[in-house]
Structure 1
C-alpha cells in the first residue's frame, strides 16, 4: 500500500474503486497537482477521487484512455440527470455538473443541432477585426495602469480583457456582463453556487430578451435567428456554456501563460523573434497548466469496463486533462509544435472556439510584452497562490512591476493609427462579408473557423 499526501492509503494498481478517494478540491491539491497526479498513477490509468465532500468520481489519468472515453459518447454520455438525482443538493460542484439543455450535456442528433447553430453563429466573426479589437482593448487597459509601474495582471488585465471581448461579441451591456462573470467565477470556485446559478440564468435571460427586442450584429442575435429555431430556454442554456467558456478559462489561459513567460528563462527576452515564442508559451500552458485541468465529465448509464476496471453506473468519469497531457507515456511526443494535448477536449465535444481562444490569448500576451518589455514578477513564482477547486488551474493574483510608462499626448489621434497607445477601441463591424455570413443549413458542415469568447466594457467604445 502507498501512503498518499492526503493521508489515505492507495489501493493496489488496477483497483481504483477500492481506494480511499483522494480530494482534488482542496488547497493541498491546488498547491501541487502534479505531485497528486503522480501518486494517483500508482492506482493505474484510473483513480478514485473526490470532487467535493461526498462527491466521488473516477479520474482518467492517461492520454490513451482519455481519448477512448471522449470518442465513445454511446458508452460515456454527457447527460448527468441520473447522477444529479442522487448527488448532495448543496454540493458546491453540482452547479457545474448539473444537466442543462445545452451543447455540453447533449449527445447525438440533439448535440449536432445545437452545435451547428453555435458553429454557424461563431463563424460569422471576422478574425482580423477581432484581432484589432483585442489589441486596442489591451492597449487601453495597459494605458490605465502603465503610469503606476505595477499591476495585478490577473485582476487588471487577464480578467478584464475577456470581459471586453465577451461584451462586444455577444451584444451584452457592460453591467450585465459584469454580473454574469461574477456569477461564473462563483460557480467555478464553488462559492454560494445556488445563488450564482440563479443569477447567471437571470442575466442571460435578460440578454436574450434584449436582443429579441433589439437585434444587433452579435452572436446572441445570430443564434436567435438561426434556422435551428432555438427557443428562449435553449438560448439561455447555450449562452451559459459560451459565456462560461469565454470568461473563466480564457482569463486563466492568459494569466498562466504570462506567469510562465515571466518565470521561465526559456521565455525571457523580447519579441524580436516574432510570434513563435508566445505560441510556444501558450502550447506549454495548454500541455502542463491547462485552464480546465479536470473536466469533460461523462456519466455512464450502466456498469462499464474501462482500462480493466469495472466502473459503476452514473458515477462521474472525469477526464484529468492536465494528468493525461503529462502522461509519462507521452514524454517523447511532446515536441515543439505538437498540439495533441486535450486542453480543448476531443471527439464530438471538442471546443468549437479553440482557434479564437488562441488568437485572443496570443494577442493579449504579445501586446503587453511588447508594451512593457521590462516587466517582472513582483514576488517569486513559487510564492504565487492557486485557487482551490477540482476543475480549474487558476491563480489568485499575478503581481508585476515595470518601469512606469507615461501616456503620450495623443488624444486627437485616430485609435490604432500609430504609437504605443490608443485612446479607445474603434467601433468595428464583426460580420464577415454578406456572401460568407449566411447561416448554413442545419445539416451542413461549417468550414469557417469557429470563433467565440467574451468580454466587458462598452465604456471603451464610448457608448
Structure 2
C-alpha cells in the first residue's frame, strides 16, 4: 500500500518492531532515502522491503551487520537459483529488477570454486588494461561528447555526458564493432532504466554472443579477447555473462559517480554538510564524498541465507533475497569517527569480502578523468537550476539523478560530429539519448533514394576516432 503524503514509507510506532514493508522503487524513497535508512536502523539491522511490485526482500541497514553478510559466504550465498519465491513462480517474470537479480553464470552470482575460477579470469583480464591508455580513451570520448553540446551553451550533463561516457567506453574496452556497440548501448541503457527489459535482455544476449564469436576468430587488444584467451577456458555463455557483469557493475555506478560528483562540485554547498564549499573541493575529495554520502549503487549485493539465520535479533529466512544497503551502512551512527574524516578505507561503496569490486582502481580513474575533463573544457559551468531542486531517479538499487542541467558560455565544436545527433537536435532527444534511428521523413513515391538510418553513438564516434 502506498504511503499517504503525510507519512513516511517506513513509519512504525516508536519502540515497536518494524512491521511495515517499505517500497524502494517509488518517488518517496528516491526523494529522501536517508530518512528511510535512519528510521529503519532504529529498529534493528535489517528491514523488510519491496524492490518492485511482487518482489520482496530484506535490506541490511547497519554497518556491522553488512560486514557479517558480505564476509561470510558459507552462510550467505550469491547464487540466485536459491531464490525460493522465484522458483515457485511468485515473482513476475517481467519484473524490472530481474535483470539485476536473476542468475547468470558470472562471478557475481557464483560461490566457492566456481566463483574463484570466474573471478580470476575477470581480474586478470582487467589487470591488462593500461591506465594511460584508459585515461586517453576517456578523454577522447569526453571530447566527442562535449562537442555535441558545446555550441548550445546548455546541456544535461547526466544524459549527455555522464550516462553516455561509460557506455561508449565499455564499447572501446570490449573491442566492439560499430553495429554491435550501438545495440549494446541501446539494450544496456534500457535494462538500467527498466524499459521493456525482456526485449532489451534478449538484444543484449544476442549482440554479446556475436561479439564473442567475432573475437574468437579475430582477437584484439581488448577485454573480450583476453577473457577468451584466459586459461580458465570460459565457454561462450560464460564469456557473455562476464561481459554483462562487467557492464552492469561498471556503467550504472560510473555514470552515477560522475553525475553525483559533478553535482557536488557545481553546488554552492555540498549535500548533507554544514560548512564545506563544493566549489572549492578537489575532484578526488568530491568522489570520495559521493562514495560516502550518495554511493552510486546504494542497495545491492543480493545474498541468500543457506538456512534461517539470526542476525542481531532479526531472523533472515533461508533462500530469501538479502540486500546490502551500502548507503545505510555508510551513514551508520557507529561510524562517527570515520565519517568525520571521510576515511577512504571505511565506507562500503566498493563492497567487501570475496565479492569486493575487482575494478576499484580503473573505476576511480575513469570518474576522475571524466570529471576533470568537463571542468577543464568548460570552466564556467554552472547549474541551471538550484541543487535542491534536482530530481532523483526512482529505483531500489541506485542513487541516480534524473538530469543535471547546466549552462555555460558557448564555444565552437572542435571536431566534426561524424553523423551523431547534431547539437541543435540533441536537446530535443534528451528523453531518449540512446536513439539509433531518427524518425524517417516521408519519402516521395517518385524518389528512388530511401531515408538513411541515423547512426548510433558508437558508430558515430568511430567515424571521428578510428580506433
Q: TM-score, normalised by structure 2?
A: 0.83
Match of 2:50 in 1: 50
Q: Using the alignment, how far apart are the partners of 1:315 and 1:15 within structure 2?
A: 20
Q: Deviations over 1:53-85 (max 9, x none)?
A: 222211111111101110001101101113131
The structure with higher relative contact order (CA 8 Å, sep 6+) is 1
- 1:88 has 2:91 as partner: yes
Q: Select the residue among 132, 137, 141 that pairs with 1:133.
A: 137
In structure 1, stretches of 5+ residues that fail to align are: 271-275, 412-454
Indicate how the Cα distance of structure 1 residues 336 and 314 shifts in structure 2: closer, same or farther if over 3 A, else same: closer
Match of 1:71 in 2: 71
SS at 2:50 equivalent: strand
Match of 1:206 in 2: 210
Q: Select the residue among 7, 10, 13 that pairs with 2:12.
A: 10
Q: Using the alignment, how far apart are the partners of 1:60 and 1:216 within structure 2?
A: 42
- 1:317 has 2:319 as partner: no
Match of 1:368 in 2: 374
Match of 1:189 in 2: 193
Shift of 1:192: 2.0
- 1:119 has 2:123 as partner: yes
Q: Using the alignment, how far apart are the partners of 2:368 and 2:43 within structure 1?
A: 38
Q: What is the root-mean-square deviation of aligned Cα atoms in Å? A: 2.3
Matched ranges for 1:291-440 at <5 A: 291-334=296-339, 335-407=341-413
Match of 2:251 in 1: 247
SS at 1:374 equivalent: coil
SS at 1:333 equivalent: helix
Using the TM superposition, name which of 192-201 and 26-35 deviates more. Answer: 192-201
Match of 2:446 in 1: none
SS at 1:332 equivalent: helix
Q: Using the alignment, how far apart are the partners of 2:277 and 2:140 within structure 1?
A: 24
Q: Using the alignment, how far apart are the partners of 1:355 and 1:202 within structure 2?
A: 30
For the Cα contact (< 8 Å) 2:267–2:279, is it kept in 1? no
Q: Deviations over 1:19-75 (max 9, x none)?
A: 121111111111111111122123222111111122221111111110111000110
Q: Using the alignment, how far apart are the partners of 2:249 and 2:16 within structure 1?
A: 34
SS at 2:76 equivalent: coil
Shift of 1:285: 0.6
For the Cα contact (< 8 Å) 1:15–1:309, is it kept in 2? no
Matched ranges for 1:150-189 at <5 A: 150-189=154-193
- 1:288 has 2:290 as partner: no
Q: TM-score, normalised by structure 1?
A: 0.84
Indicate how the Cα distance of structure 1 residues 35 and 174 shifts in structure 2: closer, same or farther if over 3 A, else same: farther
Shift of 1:6: 4.3
For the Cα contact (< 8 Å) 1:14–1:44, is it kept in 2? no
Question: What is the total number of aligned residue pairs between the two structures?
Answer: 411
Match of 1:258 in 2: 262
SS at 1:147 equivalent: coil
